[in-house]
Structure 1
Amino acid sequence: MSLDKRLSAFVNLGQFLCQFSEKSTKKVENILHNDIFFDIFKTQIKRAKEYNGWFNDENVLFSLENWGKSLTKENLEKWISHYNITDGEPKTIAVIMAGNIPLVGFHDFLSVLITGNNIIAKLSSNDKHFLPLIAKYLEYVEPSFKGKITFTDKELSNFDAVIATGSNNTARYFEYYFGKYPSIIRKNRNSVAILTGSETHEELESLGEDIFRYFGLGCRNVSKLLVPREYDFDNLFKALYNFNEIINYKKYQNNYDYNKAVYLMSLFKLQENGFLMLKEDESYSSPIATVFYEYYDSEAQLLQLLKNDTDKIQCIVSNLDLPSKVNFGKTQTPNLWDYADDVDIIKFILELT
């Protein structure tokens, strides 16, 4: 199967996924295999909460829509234009996926297939229904994908390389079992926002998208704020008020109530507004419904902190002139060339011998 055929298949997938969005789900004419797959996807979206209580309609639709918008001919060609992708003997790459947010493993799936290789995917039990549906759609659009995509819940075998995503604990397990293979092993990372006090109301409001999307469960969610001394949190709380309805989602509310009780019993000092707690803490990984914050005294101190903790940080949201910073409200809409942990998956795959 040629690269052009692979590109065309993913472009068709993008057009299919764009029918599903938070604003509306609407069947569009002339989308390939809509008669087979549209209603199946629609049903799976409605049933997603049954398998994972965090996968509400809004977040699932957001994920599908954004992947649909990414999979355009222009985006895909821009992405792969930086590489020399040739159609040689395919490698088989095992991909162990997380399940914290909908389709969190799709970029790895795409990267393996767009380079002409075969994938053995081990799905998380928290997100095991959408990717097989997508794979089946691709096989209908381009039958040459048949035999190139395998899903398994058994022990992995007969592969040439590994891409695995998990916690710091599971990463040790991955390193032990897959150490002899070429591998990308991802550990815990979190995202931070650097505030100066000069942000507009609109920027702080957009920060709410970075904090609350997917209930804060993604590595690209902002879980920590870096703020100057004497920072006025009132403006932040006012800007975030539009997200107050999140507390009505039972699983989020349960976490809010539980974590608040733990903090209060431990006599921790909190700032909270009824649906979000702010706690001063040097850690990056904050519990659901909580964002940690830490003060900085100078830009030099701030830059040193970011340098020291590079391996803990996924995204940096800021107005400061920093390399690879992300604009407010954009952490959950990365480009195809925005690699997790800044590790170029395509380069890794193409260098396999």
Structure 2
Amino acid sequence: MTSIQNRITAFAKLGDFLSQFSSDKIEKKPNIEHNDLFFEGFQHQIKLAQENNSWFTKDNILFAIQSWSKALSTENLNDFIKEVNLTKNSSKKVAIIMAGNIPLVGFHDFLSVLISGHEVIIKQSSSDKHLLPFLAKYLEYVEETFKGKIAFTEEKLSYFDAVIATGSNNTARYFEYYFKNKPNIIRKSRNSVAVITGNEGDEDYIGLANDVFQYFGLGCRSVSKLYVPKNYNFDAFFNGMYTKKEIINNAKYANNYDYNKAVYLMSEFDLLENGFLMIKEDQSYSSPIATIFYEYYDNEVDLKIKLHEDREKIQCIVAKDFLEHEIAFGQTQHPQLTDYADGVNTLEFLSKL
């Protein structure tokens, strides 16, 4: 049984390996373990991931990789595990059913299971199947005790002790029935919202554009809904969004924009739009691609109550001096390792198996 410090060291080495792949440049560095074996191969996997899923642009893949390379420092990993006692648990086999909405979206669960000392069996989404198996192979090279502890399958899952499954609200109902006799974490669809109070400056709206458009808005941490004060003027909002105008050059995004705009116009909905983003007044949290929903609020107290009541549907709340656990504008796609999806402490769950 490998020690937890060995596992932390292995993931920190993976972080070093990933640091060679950033949005600015891909550059082979000296002193990275097993680099001759893996560097070109990972470039190839990035290319395959792009070809397999046209939402996975090179920029989005490299953004995700860069985020993980920063997260996987020895200091961050030690902070991640310090609140949970992982020394006593016996090794169990944990199944992970991963989503595929953004690149490496299931990596946090993968990290959590392995760093806890368990074995993992992974059922990937067909939308995101190229990157993680390659990184798993790298980990097996830097820490030999991981060999035999990591498995990928496309078959029906069997022979496991616990499960972590992420899917839509519909698949979650199936998961809840199917896995009812196993310890489980089952995640449903969530969306993120931004609260505009009128105290925001230009920089906040530019940051909000990142929260809206990163990964084309497909992540659960992507802002899909705005709450704005009565009689709010959207000019400052659209000025901030304009920094991302190049997004319309992506053919798949443009097709979604054109399609959703046509549907809204035929339905005679009131729309505001700027050529690449539509905003529509709507009570739902989940908006289509190229669309942001908004709702007016009368007073802040009522809005805080509503957001608290709907917390099971919300991943992040972006705001400025509005709530205790708000996220700053521009920061939704930079989570810490301890920012658990759905607020459920995965490490704690794993430590009790």
TM-score band w.r.t. shorter chain: over 0.9
Q: SS of the counterpart of 2:103?
A: coil
- Corresponding residue number in structure 2 for 1:35: 36
Q: SS of the counterpart of 1:188?
A: coil
Matching of residue 73 in structure 1 with residue 44 in structure 2: no
Go from structure 1 to structure 2 and tell me whether the alpha carbon gap of 1:263 and 1:87 turns closer, same or farther (over 3 Å shift). same
User: Structure 1 stretches (4+) deviating beyond 3 angstroms?
Assistant: none
Say if 1:197 and 1:232, in contact at 8 Å, map to a contact too: no
Matching of residue 214 in structure 1 with residue 212 in structure 2: no
For residues 218 and 321 of structure 1, the distance between their equivalents in structure 2, rounded to whole angstroms, comes to 23
For residues 88 and 5 of structure 2, the distance between their equivalents in structure 1, rounded to whole angstroms, comes to 11
- Corresponding residue number in structure 1 for 2:51: 50
1:122-271 matched pairs, under 5 angstroms: 122-271=123-272
Per-residue CA deviation, residues 53-109 of structure 1 (Å, 9 max, x unaligned), is 100000000000000000001100111111111154201111000000000000000
**Displacement after TM superposition at 1:321 (Å):** 3.7
Say if 1:165 and 1:187, in contact at 8 Å, map to a contact too: yes
For residues 152 and 49 of structure 2, the distance between their equivalents in structure 1, rounded to whole angstroms, comes to 19
For residues 260 and 221 of structure 1, the distance between their equivalents in structure 2, rounded to whole angstroms, comes to 20
- Corresponding residue number in structure 1 for 2:335: 334
Per-residue CA deviation, residues 230-265 of structure 1 (Å, 9 max, x unaligned), is 111011101111100000100000000000000000
Say if 2:230 and 2:297, in contact at 8 Å, map to a contact too: yes
For residues 174 and 293 of structure 1, the distance between their equivalents in structure 2, rounded to whole angstroms, comes to 32
- Corresponding residue number in structure 1 for 2:24: 23
Moved more, 147-156 or 316-325: 316-325
For residues 70 and 148 of structure 2, the distance between their equivalents in structure 1, rounded to whole angstroms, comes to 27
Q: SS of the counterpart of 1:95?
A: strand
The alignment yields a C-alpha RMSD, in angstroms, of 0.8
Per-residue CA deviation, residues 314-349 of structure 1 (Å, 9 max, x unaligned), is 000000241321111110110000000000000011
Say if 1:316 and 1:326, in contact at 8 Å, map to a contact too: yes
**Displacement after TM superposition at 1:8 (Å):** 0.4
For residues 218 and 315 of structure 2, the distance between their equivalents in structure 1, rounded to whole angstroms, comes to 13
- Corresponding residue number in structure 2 for 1:100: 101
**Displacement after TM superposition at 1:47 (Å):** 2.7
Say if 2:89 and 2:351, in contact at 8 Å, map to a contact too: no
Per-residue CA deviation, residues 274-309 of structure 1 (Å, 9 max, x unaligned), is 000000000000000000000111011111110121
**Displacement after TM superposition at 1:165 (Å):** 0.1
For residues 88 and 166 of structure 1, the distance between their equivalents in structure 2, rounded to whole angstroms, comes to 28
- Percent identity between matched residues is 60
For residues 24 and 88 of structure 2, the distance between their equivalents in structure 1, rounded to whole angstroms, comes to 40
Q: SS of the counterpart of 2:238?
A: helix
Per-residue CA deviation, residues 179-238 of structure 1 (Å, 9 max, x unaligned), is 111110000100000001220101100100000000000000000001000111011101
Say if 2:278 and 2:291, in contact at 8 Å, map to a contact too: yes
- Corresponding residue number in structure 2 for 1:11: 12
Q: SS of the counterpart of 2:306?
A: helix
For residues 214 and 150 of structure 1, the distance between their equivalents in structure 2, rounded to whole angstroms, comes to 28
Matching of residue 109 in structure 1 with residue 110 in structure 2: yes
1:235-314 matched pairs, under 5 angstroms: 235-314=236-315
Q: SS of the counterpart of 2:64?
A: helix
Say if 1:3 and 1:87, in contact at 8 Å, map to a contact too: no
Q: Which amino acid aligns with 1:238?
A: N
Q: 5+ residue gaps in structure 2? A: none
TM-score (norm 1): 0.99
Question: Paired residues, what number?
Answer: 352
For residues 180 and 85 of structure 2, the distance between their equivalents in structure 1, rounded to whole angstroms, comes to 27
Moved more, 86-95 or 22-31: 86-95
**Displacement after TM superposition at 1:6 (Å):** 0.3
For residues 153 and 48 of structure 1, the distance between their equivalents in structure 2, rounded to whole angstroms, comes to 17
Go from structure 1 to structure 2 and tell me whether the alpha carbon gap of 1:87 and 1:3 turns closer, same or farther (over 3 Å shift). farther
For residues 90 and 231 of structure 2, the distance between their equivalents in structure 1, rounded to whole angstroms, comes to 60
For residues 198 and 164 of structure 1, the distance between their equivalents in structure 2, rounded to whole angstroms, comes to 39
Q: 5+ residue gaps in structure 1? A: none
Say if 1:2 and 1:87, in contact at 8 Å, map to a contact too: no
For residues 241 and 288 of structure 1, the distance between their equivalents in structure 2, rounded to whole angstroms, comes to 16
Q: SS of the counterpart of 1:109?
A: helix
For residues 299 and 141 of structure 2, the distance between their equivalents in structure 1, rounded to whole angstroms, comes to 57
For residues 134 and 8 of structure 1, the distance between their equivalents in structure 2, rounded to whole angstroms, comes to 15
For residues 64 and 85 of structure 1, the distance between their equivalents in structure 2, rounded to whole angstroms, comes to 27
Q: Which amino acid aligns with 1:41?
A: F
Say if 2:247 and 2:276, in contact at 8 Å, map to a contact too: yes
TM-score (norm 2): 0.99
